[in-house]
Amino acid sequence: MAEELARRGAAVAIAHHRAPELATAVASRIRSAGGRAIEVDGDLSRVDDNRHLVDRTVAELGRLDVFVANAGLTRWAPFLDVDEDTWDAVVDLNLKGSYFGAQAAALQLVAQGEGGRIVFSSSVTGTLAIANASAYAVTKAGLQHMARVLALELGKHRITVNALAIGATVNERNLADDAEYGEHWAGVLPSGRAGTPSDVAAALGFLVSTEAAQVTGHTLTVDGGWSGIGVTP
């Protein structure tokens, strides 16, 4: 996502939480390609850290035009086994963090007076039920409705708010769960393959573009057709 935004000409602030090596690697690739990028450490389940992320971005890059609430985590467990600590960890980052991150971003965008874009990273689990992901799924459903209600309130400021419903995607986290993740999902997806980070980044690129000025309060699904059938490997 960060590299796609940089490719489109954005200077990018890359948030991370105690993972500087990952943020540095992305920032280095952006700089090597001639772009601008900074790295900001913070726990985005905390309201103050979201505000710091926006403040640091504006201080170092000059302004804010796009805010992508992409921080999130998954905790797999049967509903009957989910404890309060698990619920709080998932909800505090995925839902509360995204909410107050969007608020911090919106306050800056309104002050600038030139509109802007806010995009939430949701999931197809926010629409279709998957066993053992109840806490995660609730937060992802919440992000889709959050996009709708914030689009209503922020539209008068020319700020669009949308969500991405991301499906099966081959990335490090999913490969850690299942070394043959791509092969397993390819067998059930109408598209014939699992998604890639570049598929998601391309959809993000559209939502933040000038061509998407009339797209707001919408959830764009990037899942290879999975949500039309709901079959799991």
Please name which of 121, 107, 120, 122 lies closest in space to residue 154, comparing C-alpha atoms. Answer: 107
Residues 17, 71 contacting (CB under 8 angstroms): yes
Give the 3-state secondary structure of 28-90.
HHHHHCCCCEEEEECCCCCHHHHHHHHHHHHHHHCCCCEEEECCCCCCCECHHHCCHHHHHHH
Burial 29-43 (b: 16+ CB within 10 A, else e): ebeeeebbbbbbebe
pLDDT band at residue 147 using 50, 70 and 90 as cut-offs? very high
Q: What is the pLDDT of residues 32-85, one digit of tens each?
A: 999 999 999 999 999 999 999 999 999 999 999 999 999 999 999 999 999 999
Question: Which pLDDT does position 153 carry in this prediction?
Answer: 98
Cα–Cα distance, 64 to 58 (Å, whole number):
6
State the Rg of the chain over Cα: 17
pLDDT band at residue 230 using 50, 70 and 90 as cut-offs? confident
* Active site residue ranges: 136
Dig out the tokens for 80 from the structure.
């009957």
Cα–Cα distance, 58 to 61 (Å, whole number):
5
| Claim: this prediction has a pTM higher than 0.85 | yes
Q: What is the pLDDT of residues 108-126, one digit of tens each?
A: 999 999 999 999 999 999 9
